[in-house]
Chains A and B, each alone.
Chain A
Amino acid sequence: MPSFKLNVNNKDYSVDVDEQMPLLWVIRDFVGLKGTKFGCGISQCGACTVHLDGTPIRSCMTPVSQAAGKKITTIEGAEGNISEAVQKAWIELQVPQCGYCQSGQVMSAVALLKNNKKPTDADIDAAMQGNLCRCGTYMRIRQAIHRAAEMI
């Protein structure tokens, strides 16, 4: 079994896994960070969203081999003024219901605000369309992104 060196939330890990194993399962079951969620396995729901060198990706379809040597950021490593603003806005608007998709929602929202300080509704639609929420918190997600943009 090949060995991969991963940098997750600024910490180095070495894992011995099949090179095709999706990053999602490596993060959850080998690195041991459970905040990144499994929802669909085919990049349809976005619950598994993490940042790879700052870009949001779906870890359920990203083989671990593609993530080796890159900086991986999970919800547990979401730091800095943008992440904090997003999380504060999420609390202010009381966004989550069951909360299962929200790690992915937060990671997508942080990535959006990193590139776009004042997103329009259309920008939010484009950036957040890959993140499903079965509880239907979409209206509050939109409001919270606008609120976070004000706070940054």
Chain B
Amino acid sequence: MQRNTSLSRRSFIAITGITGTGFIIGLNNACKEAPKVANLSEVKQWFEFTPYVNIADNGIVTVFNTKPEIGQGVYQSIPAIVCEELEIPVESVVIKQTGGEKKYGPMQFAGGSYSVRGSYNDLRKVGAAAREMLIKAASQEWKVPESECYAENGEVIHKPSGKKLGYGALASAASKLPVPEKPKLKDPKDFKILGKAAPRPDIPLKITGKAVFGIDAETEGMVYASVEHSPVFGAKLVSVDDTEAKKIKGVLAVERVTRIIQKYRSEAVAVIADSYWTALQARKVLNIKWDNQGYDSFNSADYEQKLRDLASKPGVADKPIGDFDKAFAGAATKLEAFYETPMVSHSPIEPMNALAKWHDDKHLEIWASTQVPGDIRQSFAKEYGFPEENLTLNVMFNGGGFGRRLYPDHVHEAVQLAKKVGKPVKVIWTREDDTRLGPFRPMTFSAMKAGLGADGKPLAYQHKVISPSIGDADSDKFDKTKPDGTMLEALNDQKYEIPNMKHPYVYADLHIPVAAWRAVTSTTLSFPHECFLDECAVKAGKDPMAYRLELAKKDSDLFRILTKLKEVSKWDQPLPAGSARGVGQYEFFAGHAGMVVEVTKQGNGVKIDKVYAVIDMGTVVNPDTIKAQVEGAVAMGITAAVKGGITFQNGQTRQSNYNDNPIIRIHEMPIVETHILAEGGEVIKGAGEPGLPPLAPALCNAIYAATGKRIRKLPFNIDNIV
């Protein structure tokens, strides 16, 4: 138990105030006002209860949030969990974003739909422990039994006498008590905050231009950099002629810099200037020679053909169930199909950027939109040779994550350049840099086989995946002889009763960074997995929903999701001529959702009328943010299904910006009706990713039902389906 002195804590607040790092108090919904921080000036002393909760002498509570805000709503959901048990309104807390500091533990990241599901049980204990400490302190002060006291609305109350003491008055004494290891948690039926829709405190900031994203960070004396990377992946830098660039007024330096991403390191050239615009102009007149190492002959068409050819290889299967080969050989009806998905970009609207300042050779400060503060602290300390605690990491609001900001390559560039020029450097990638350089979601190709029994049900199901590997891109130590769990993600977790299954993986090498993208490999594997099951249903002459319900294990979440989907989509009621429905679902590490998509024929294509989504959560913190995540996943899923994708020619990415790598616009967004299954109890699932995998299969199954055309390759042109 450590008491924080007034001085250290107050200076800490002053620093955050200056840099604008996510420091927010209250749910101030008045449009024009920033959240109030007035009471902070009255604070003389802060008292630490646990690393995650401090209480000030005037009763203000600070909740330390280890999850970067990437749009998933953690500035509401994380404090809500603590506040529920601590018996204070969410409006009365200060939220402090942590920066990977050791004391806040190893889980300081936003990824895997993990922010809430990974914090829920622990943070309830954090809140409950502080509550019990406050109650104990009050009972000692009043010399009454703890059992006669309770906490409510920031005060401890002595029930028989009605005496009250605020948390501020109790903070000093309470913080000196031992932290209870097993505090008593509230009965969920008494919840005042959790499970109810509540507004997010960051929203007023985000509609008034006051939210500070990474790209908005400033520090005194900072200069700007734009970096020219090799257009051809795998090329080596030979020489730089910066004569013309250096003639431009405002250009301060031209420096080499190393892009570090996954297992890859590549040299690039940065222009540093007194304004970003100047750096961009000077970058255009750099004369750089690259040695393409033969990679300039690489193109997507050949690579895709290579994947198709590799489908004949047996691959490495992960945990086969039953005997697929035997059951398939003996099946009355056999089906085979080949499905293809594209590489895609993350394309968050805030381009990659970072600001870095070396205070001296061993003390670094970084301002960044990042999903991985914990990883940055550890890996940068190692890379640049200083103790971890010497890094000040200001985690800013992320202008979108989607997995891209799990990779801090652009942060490395700012750090290296700041050291080279001896000034704070802000690196900002252009949209073209962001689109062309990856890392990308890998494409997966799938060779599907099924053998149906006399009743039409699948006796044997094989989903063979042929693709480059994220694990291989991540590390030189990747073992190709072992089953690649990431590239076969969750194929064995679908709760259909199919007695014989085998899901082999065929590795394809690639020199281009491929990486986690929202919902990782489940976003591509769900498409063949659930569309081919539809093909089986059609072959068996059965309704796709009824077929799935027959196959689903009766006590499974899958069964409950499908049952709910059937009900809310009114599956059994016919739609007008030209309209049809399709269903899809996928269960994976992040959670589980299913969707019914309704489409109507329009010209040679279809229009998406409506999406019904059912997401299984177990336990809910904020239903409104869960719905928002599902709506967003639908939008992203549509883009990945019907828009361009990333392709390569002459070793280079062909796409460059939102004009040739489009994402859906407002007129392409359907109505999404989201239903949440929440049975309560211990289980809590993720919300950020599960809405993605079901979209493409549900959409393509609907298109088949409406048009008779079976789509087996993404992306496709939704206005002209062939």
CB-defined contacts of B203 to chain A, threshold 8 Å: 90-91, 94-96, 99
- Contact flags (1/0) for B252-282 with A, using CB distance below 8 Å? 0000000000000000000000011110010
* CB pair A40 B636 closer than 8 Å: no
Asked if A119 is an interface residue, CB under 8 A from chain B, the answer is no
CB-defined contacts of B423 to chain A, threshold 8 Å: none
Closest chain A residue to B248, Cβ basis: A18
Asked if A59 is an interface residue, CB under 8 A from chain B, the answer is no
Report how far A40 CA is from B402 CA in the complex, Å: 18
* CB pair A34 B212 closer than 8 Å: yes
Report the minimum CB–CB distance from B595 to chain A (whole Å): 14
- Contact flags (1/0) for B547-565 with A, using CB distance below 8 Å? 0000000000000000000
Report how far A36 CA is from B216 CA in the complex, Å: 10
Asked if B349 is an interface residue, CB under 8 A from chain A, the answer is yes
* CB pair A47 B277 closer than 8 Å: no
* CB pair A98 B71 closer than 8 Å: yes
Q: Which of A33, A34, A88 has the largest number of chain B CB atoms within 10 A?
A: A34
Report how far A17 CA is from B348 CA in the complex, Å: 29
CB-defined contacts of A139 to chain B, threshold 8 Å: 631, 669-672
Report how far A50 CA is from B207 CA in the complex, Å: 13
Closest chain B residue to A25, Cβ basis: B277
Report how far A90 CA is from B281 CA in the complex, Å: 38
Asked if B667 is an interface residue, CB under 8 A from chain A, the answer is yes
* CB pair B212 A44 closer than 8 Å: no
Interface segment, B459-467, B487-495, B657-665? B657-665
Closest chain B residue to A99, Cβ basis: B206
Interface segment, B295-303, B377-385, B392-400? B392-400
* CB pair A74 B31 closer than 8 Å: no
Report the minimum CB–CB distance from B196 to chain A (whole Å): 13
- Contact flags (1/0) for A24-46 with B, using CB distance below 8 Å? 01000110011111111110110
Closest chain A residue to B281, Cβ basis: A18
Report how far A134 CA is from B665 CA in the complex, Å: 9
Asked if B49 is an interface residue, CB under 8 A from chain A, the answer is no
CB-defined contacts of B430 to chain A, threshold 8 Å: 41
CB-defined contacts of B625 to chain A, threshold 8 Å: 94
Asked if B204 is an interface residue, CB under 8 A from chain A, the answer is yes
* CB pair A136 B633 closer than 8 Å: yes
Counting residue pairs across A and B whose Cβ atoms lie within 8 Å, the total is 186
Contacts A40-B431, A42-B657 given; does A96 touch B634 at CB 8 Å: no
* CB pair A25 B667 closer than 8 Å: no
* CB pair A136 B215 closer than 8 Å: no
* CB pair A88 B400 closer than 8 Å: no
Asked if A8 is an interface residue, CB under 8 A from chain B, the answer is no
Report the minimum CB–CB distance from B672 to chain A (whole Å): 6
Main secondary structure of the interface of A (DSSP, over half): loop
Q: Which of B216, B277, B629 has the largest number of chain A CB atoms within 10 A?
A: B277
- Contact flags (1/0) for A120-152 with B, using CB distance below 8 Å? 000011001101111111111110000000000
Report how far A66 CA is from B16 CA in the complex, Å: 37
Asked if B569 is an interface residue, CB under 8 A from chain A, the answer is no
* CB pair B215 A38 closer than 8 Å: yes
Asked if A12 is an interface residue, CB under 8 A from chain B, the answer is no
Report the minimum CB–CB distance from B95 to chain A (whole Å): 15
Closest chain B residue to A136, Cβ basis: B635
* CB pair B275 A29 closer than 8 Å: yes
* CB pair A99 B658 closer than 8 Å: no
- Contact flags (1/0) for A3-20 with B, using CB distance below 8 Å? 000000000000001100
Asked if B512 is an interface residue, CB under 8 A from chain A, the answer is no
Asked if B624 is an interface residue, CB under 8 A from chain A, the answer is yes
Contacts A97-B72, A99-B399, A129-B665 given; does A87 touch B207 at CB 8 Å: yes
* CB pair A76 B208 closer than 8 Å: yes
* CB pair B665 A35 closer than 8 Å: no
Report how far A129 CA is from B402 CA in the complex, Å: 22
* CB pair A18 B348 closer than 8 Å: no
Report how far A134 CA is from B434 CA in the complex, Å: 14
Contacts A41-B431, A140-B631 given; does A74 touch B663 at CB 8 Å: no
Report how far A35 CA is from B207 CA in the complex, Å: 9
Report the minimum CB–CB distance from B375 to chain A (whole Å): 20
Contacts A94-B624, A94-B628 given; does A138 touch B199 at CB 8 Å: no
Asked if B200 is an interface residue, CB under 8 A from chain A, the answer is yes
* CB pair A100 B431 closer than 8 Å: no
* CB pair A98 B200 closer than 8 Å: no
Asked if A22 is an interface residue, CB under 8 A from chain B, the answer is yes
* CB pair B657 A36 closer than 8 Å: no
* CB pair B347 A134 closer than 8 Å: yes
Asked if A52 is an interface residue, CB under 8 A from chain B, the answer is no
Asked if B70 is an interface residue, CB under 8 A from chain A, the answer is yes
Closest chain A residue to B673, Cβ basis: A139
- Contact flags (1/0) for B191-224 with A, using CB distance below 8 Å? 0000000011011111111111101100000001
Report the minimum CB–CB distance from A4 to chain B (whole Å): 14
Asked if B249 is an interface residue, CB under 8 A from chain A, the answer is yes
* CB pair A84 B658 closer than 8 Å: no
Closest chain A residue to B209, Cβ basis: A35
Report how far A90 CA is from B203 CA in the complex, Å: 8
Closest chain A residue to B204, Cβ basis: A91
Report how far A83 CA is from B632 CA in the complex, Å: 25
A88's partner among B31, B348, B632 (CB-CB below 8 A) is: B31
Chain B, 585-627, CB within 8 A of any chain A CB:
624-625
Asked if B18 is an interface residue, CB under 8 A from chain A, the answer is no
Report the minimum CB–CB distance from B613 to chain A (whole Å): 12
CB-defined contacts of A30 to chain B, threshold 8 Å: 275
CB-defined contacts of B333 to chain A, threshold 8 Å: none
Report how far A66 CA is from B73 CA in the complex, Å: 39
A134's partner among B249, B349, B624, B634 (CB-CB below 8 A) is: B349
Asked if A67 is an interface residue, CB under 8 A from chain B, the answer is no
* CB pair B207 A129 closer than 8 Å: no
Report how far A103 CA is from B211 CA in the complex, Å: 10
* CB pair A135 B400 closer than 8 Å: yes
CB-defined contacts of A25 to chain B, threshold 8 Å: 275-277
- Contact flags (1/0) for B12-52 with A, using CB distance below 8 Å? 00000000000000000101100000000000000000000
Closest chain A residue to B668, Cβ basis: A138
CB-defined contacts of B29 to chain A, threshold 8 Å: 91
16 contacts between A and B (CB under 8 A): A29-B277, A41-B430, A41-B431, A45-B349, A76-B209, A84-B32, A87-B208, A94-B200, A97-B71, A100-B350, A103-B207, A125-B667, A134-B349, A138-B664, A138-B669, A139-B671
Closest 3 CB pairs of A and B: A35-B209, A136-B635, A99-B206
Q: Tell me the B residues contacting A by CB distance below 8 Å.
A: 29, 31-32, 69-73, 199-200, 202-213, 215-216, 224, 249, 275-278, 281, 347-351, 397-402, 428, 430-432, 624-625, 628-629, 631-636, 657-659, 663-667, 669-672
- If A44-B657, A91-B203, A125-B667 are given as contacts, then 13 extra A-B residue pairs at C-beta distance below 8 Å, sorted by A number, are A34-B212, A39-B351, A41-B430, A41-B432, A87-B207, A88-B31, A90-B207, A98-B348, A98-B397, A99-B205, A128-B666, A136-B669, A142-B666
